[in-house]
Amino acid sequence: MLEYHQVSVIYPNGAHALHEVTLTIGKGEFVFLVGPTGEGKSTLLRLAYREVLPTTGQVIVNGKDVGRMPHSRVPHLRRELGVVFQDFKLLPDKTAWENLAFALQVVGTSRQEIHRRLTELLAQANLEHKADCFPSQLSAGEQQRLCIARALINHPPLLLADEPTGNLDPQTSQETMDLLGRINLNGTTVVVASHDRAIVDQMQRRVVAIHGGRVTRDAVGGYGPEESE
């Protein structure tokens, strides 16, 4: 589902974000990316949806080499992925329903199909009763669940989440991760960059540690002592 082959990223300011990273994430896996801030976790995610291009090496998403992909194909790639951000990126002047509908309207989905899909997604995120609320009327946890629902709008085989519990309290963090866990059980590959030691330790999934732009550990389990901030 997601492959990095000897990938290095050097930003225009000369900062080395990644150093010859080789990593494979299979279909249906749930993987945590852990490690201190600024060590390359978010860069790995951004490579997958081509917000960042590799300086050297290859990034393969669902069989497609995103580095060699024509720019005209990038919107299609992004519609095949679900991306969840820590800061939500919701449209403030649209209701929960409208935030979800927007992504389907721009690709010409019928009104009937939009209604069917949104009813399903809001139920999955336990937000049926919040459909007419604006983001400012939702709690942080509700906003994050809405973001996850939006990320699933096109049935993506791969869901990427960058610090999805970073702004949430422990109870709300647990609810968010339970939702991601259920999504994974339905067959979606889930990759989560996280600093949330309690969540990582509790879920006991595959953990890939990134330090200094390199993979330093790749094993099933929790947050290792070497991954401290």
Mean model confidence pLDDT for the chain: 92
Q: Does pLDDT of 229 surpass 80?
A: no
User: What pLDDT sits at residue 215?
Assistant: 96
pLDDT in tens, 184-198: 999 999 999 998 899
Closest alpha carbon to 210 in 16, 9, 8, 36: 36
Q: 227 or 117: which carries more pLDDT confidence?
A: 117
Give the mean pLDDT of 173-191: 94
Q: Does pLDDT of 168 surpass 70?
A: yes
User: What pLDDT sits at residue 225?
Assistant: 67
User: What pLDDT sits at residue 76?
Assistant: 86
CATH of the domain spanning 1-80+158-222: 3.40.50.300
Q: Does pLDDT of 69 surpass 70?
A: yes
Q: Does pLDDT of 49 surpass 70?
A: yes
- For CATH 3.40.50.300, the residue range(s) in the chain are 1-80+158-222
pTM here is: 0.92
User: What pLDDT sits at residue 217?
Assistant: 95
Q: Does pLDDT of 228 surpass 60?
A: no
pLDDT in tens, 106-148: 878 899 999 999 999 999 999 999 999 999 999 999 999 999 9
